[in-house]
Amino acid sequence: MDVDIKGFAHLTLTVSDFEASLPFYKDLFAFIGLREMIVTDDYYYCVGRRVGMGIQACSPALEGTRFDQGRTGLHHLCLSMESREDVNALAEFVTSRGATMVRQPASQDDWMPGMYSCLFEDPDGIRIEANHIRKPS
């Protein structure tokens, strides 16, 4: 039997310094249209019309450990945006919040025709991409 998924229902990222990451994610989630649902000392969760996203504190033994794309687990997260303008606006927004820009907004036609994206890092170095893929004409 084959089944079709609609997409991801939610995603929770584990961060090494919850207090340092919380302001960044509060701003980011609000900017992309998510609203707060759960706020505790070690968990923050928001929902929007299509997805839920959250952060949680890592286990005490791993506090201060930075993200490494080469380890087992998450490589990066990619947000699908409605337009190139949205990619640009998000890049400008996260830069104003101190995010490290790994790749400024640009066409990525060599990767996928019609793709436009940027790539940035959160306070832990977790990589987040934002892209828009133009529909073929």
Over 80: is that where the pLDDT of 136 sits? no
The mean per-residue pLDDT over the stretch 2-11 comes to 87
Provide the residue ranges of all domains of the chain, joining segments of one domain with +: 8-61, 74-137
Q: Using one digit for the tens of pLDDT, what is the confidence trace for 54-75?
A: 999 999 998 888 888 888 889 9
The CATH number given to 8-61 is: 3.10.180.10
Nearest to 79 by CA among 8, 24, 2: 8
74-137: CATH superfamily:
2,3-Dihydroxybiphenyl 1,2-Dioxygenase, domain 1 (3.10.180.10)
Q: What is the pLDDT of residues 109-124, one digit of tens each?
A: 888 899 999 999 999 9
CA–CA dist 60, 77 (Å, integer): 24
- pLDDT value of position 91: 98
- Global pTM reads 0.91
The per-residue pLDDT for range 11-54, each reduced to its tens digit, is: 999 999 999 999 999 999 999 999 999 999 999 999 998 899 99
Give Cβ neighbours of residue 103 (< 8 Å, ≥ 6 apart): 117, 118, 119
d(CA 37, CA 19): 18
DSSP secondary structure string for all residues of 46-94: EE-SS-EEEEEEPPGGGTTPPP-TTSSS---EEEE-SSHHHHHHHHHHH
Q: Which residue has the higher pLDDT, 3 or 87?
A: 87
**Counting beta carbons within 10 angstroms of the beta carbon of residue 25, is it exposed (0 to 12), middle (13 to 18) or buried (19 or more)?**
buried
105 near 116, Cβ under 8 Å? yes
Q: Matching CATH topology for 8-61 and 74-137?
A: yes
